[in-house]
Amino acid sequence: MDANRRRQAIMDCLQEAAQPITGSELAARLSVSRQVIVQDIALLRAQGQKILATPQGYIILSQDNSKLLKRTFACRHFEADTRKELNIFVDCGGIVEDVVVEHPIYGQISGSLMLKSRADVAAFCRKVEESDAALLSSLTEGVHLHTVRAEKNEVFRQIEKALDDAGILLKKEN
């Protein structure tokens, strides 16, 4: 299979998928290395394809998400409270798009999350534990932002209250 056909096959797989697909899964389906998939994804993005890399795998950014309301929450907590924080967002009906920190050298650093359910949160936390990787918030003494999408503002009010009650919401007086 030539490179153009392979890239089209990647797009077909992603468009037909009901859930994220890992680079390893795509590589196995197309009989190439994971590195070839990573390069193909980079080229597809350069061509304007809206492919998002999440902890669960690759997805095509849905136009449906653009119709949802968006809000950014400033948070601060220790790593041990990560699961609690993320579950608050999804339990209230939010979709956690990303995490963002402000680095003194690189400026804003973000990581895509796309967490919609407790199962997504559990898989993310399991991946953090298994990889022994540091969270971005470890660079900023626990301070970070989350971009969250929801269908209505009431979801944001519920999230804000729950984060505040949990001592996770970063407030102006902190």
Please spell the DSSP secondary structure of 49-86, one letter per residue.
--EEEETTEEEEPPHHHHTSEEEEEEEE--GGGHHHHH
pLDDT of residue 63: 56
| Helices of type H across 106-152 | 118-131
Which residue ranges does the chain devote to CATH 3.30.1340.20?
A: 64-165
Which residue ranges does the chain devote to CATH 1.10.10.10?
A: 3-60
Cβ atoms 112, 54 nearer than 8 A: yes
Question: What predicted TM-score, i.e. pTM, was given to this entire model?
Answer: 0.75
pLDDT of residue 65: 59
CATH class held by domain 64-165: alpha beta
DSSP H/E element including 96:
strand 95-103
Q: Is 3-60 in CATH node 1.10.10.10? A: yes
Cα dihedral: 18, 23, 28, 29 (round 10): 40
pLDDT digits (tens, 9 = 90+) for 11-59: 999 988 878 899 999 999 999 999 999 999 999 999 989 888 887 889 8
pLDDT tens, residue order, the chain (174 aa): 899 999 999 999 998 887 889 999 999 999 999 999 999 999 999 998 988 888 788 988 765 556 789 999 999 999 999 999 999 999 999 999 999 999 989 999 999 999 999 999 999 999 999 998 889 999 999 999 999 999 999 999 999 999 999 999 998 764
